[in-house]
Structure 1
Amino acid sequence: MKIAIVGTGFVADYYMTTLGNHPGLALAGVWDRDEARLQAFRAFHGVCAYPDLEALLGDPAVGIVVNLTTPESHYEISRRALAAGKHVYCEKPLAMSFEQAQELTLLARQAGLTLAAAPANGLSDAHDLVVQALRDERIGTPRLVYAAMEDGPVFRDKWASWRSRSGALWPGLHEFEVGCTLEHAGYALSWLVSLFGPVESVTAFAALTFPDKGPGTEALAMAPDFSVGCLQFRSGLVARLSSGLAAPKDRSLQVFGDRGSITVRDLWDNRSAVHLEQVEAPRPLLGRVLNRVEARLGAALLWKPAPGRRLKYPAGARPSLPAFPSQIDFARGIAAQVAAIAEGREPVFSGELALHITELALALNGARELPQPYRMRSSF
Structure 2
Amino acid sequence: MIGIGIIGCGNISHAYLRNFQTFPEVKVVGVADLDVERARETAEQYGVPVWGEASEVINHPDVELVVNLTVPAAHVEVSLTAVRAGKHVYVEKPLALDPEAGRALLEEADKLGVRVGCAPDTFLGAGLQSALRAVAGGQIGVPGSALTLLQGPGPEAWHPSPAFFYQRGAGPLFDMGPYYLTALAVLFGPVTRVAANGSRAHTRRRVGSGPLAGTEFDVEVFTHVSALLEFASGQNATAVFSFDSPLPRHGFIEITGTEATLAAPDPNTFAGPLRLRRLGEGDWMELPVEGTTVGRGIGVVEMARAIAAGRPHRASGELALHVVDVMCAIVESAEQGRFVPIASTFEQPPPLPEDWDPASA
TM-score, normalised to structure 1's length? 0.83
List aligned pairs for 1:10-21, cutoff 5 A: 10-21=11-22
C-alpha distance in structure 2 between counterparts of 1:139 and 1:358, whole Å? 29
Q: Which residue of 2 aligns with 1:245?
A: 243
> Residues 340 and 237 from structure 1, CA distance in 2 versus in 1: closer, same or farther, beyond 3 angstroms?
same
C-alpha distance in structure 2 between counterparts of 1:101 and 1:370, whole Å? 23
Verify the 8 A CA contact 2:197 2:337 in the aligned structure 1: no
3-state DSSP of counterpart to 2:262: strand
C-alpha distance in structure 2 between counterparts of 1:330 and 1:118, whole Å? 9
Long gaps (5+) in structure 2: 347-361
Query: Mean Cα displacement is larger for which, 245-254 or 57-66?
Result: 245-254
List aligned pairs for 1:259-270, cutoff 5 A: 259-270=259-270
Instruction: Provide the aligned C-alpha RMSD in A.
Output: 1.9
- Whether 1:135 and 2:136 are equivalent positions in the alignment is yes
For residues 242-275 of structure 1, give each alpha carbon's deviation from its aligned partner in whole angstroms, at most 9, with x where no partner exists: 1122331311110000011100242223212111
Letter aligned with residue 55 of structure 2: E
C-alpha distance in structure 2 between counterparts of 1:107 and 1:183, whole Å? 26
Verify the 8 A CA contact 2:67 2:89 in the aligned structure 1: yes
How many pairs does the alignment contain? 335
List aligned pairs for 1:54-73, cutoff 5 A: 54-73=55-74
> Residues 370 and 97 from structure 1, CA distance in 2 versus in 1: closer, same or farther, beyond 3 angstroms?
farther
3-state DSSP of counterpart to 1:18: helix
Q: Find the partner of 1:313 among 261, 283, 289.
A: 289
C-alpha distance in structure 2 between counterparts of 1:369 and 1:154, whole Å? 22
List aligned pairs for 1:1-380, cutoff 5 A: 1-150=2-151, 152-155=152-155, 157-160=157-160, 172-177=162-167, 178-215=170-207, 218-247=216-245, 248-279=248-279, 282-284=281-283, 308-314=284-290, 319=294, 329-370=295-336, 372-380=338-346
C-alpha distance in structure 2 between counterparts of 1:274 and 1:201, whole Å? 29
Verify the 8 A CA contact 2:7 2:32 in the aligned structure 1: yes
For residues 78-118 of structure 1, give each alpha carbon's deviation from its aligned partner in whole angstroms, at most 9, with x where no partner exists: 11110000000011111112110010111111112111110
Tell me the percent identity. Answer: 27
3-state DSSP of counterpart to 1:250: strand
Letter aligned with residue 356 of structure 1: H
3-state DSSP of counterpart to 1:77: helix
Verify the 8 A CA contact 2:307 2:313 in the aligned structure 1: yes
Higher strand share: 2
Letter aligned with residue 51 of structure 1: G
3-state DSSP of counterpart to 2:100: helix
> Residues 46 and 98 from structure 1, CA distance in 2 versus in 1: closer, same or farther, beyond 3 angstroms?
same
For residues 43-85 of structure 1, give each alpha carbon's deviation from its aligned partner in whole angstroms, at most 9, with x where no partner exists: 3333234332221121121111011000110010011110000
C-alpha distance in structure 1 between counterparts of 2:92 and 2:342, whole Å? 22
TM-score, normalised to structure 2's length? 0.87
| 1:214 shift after superposition | 1.0
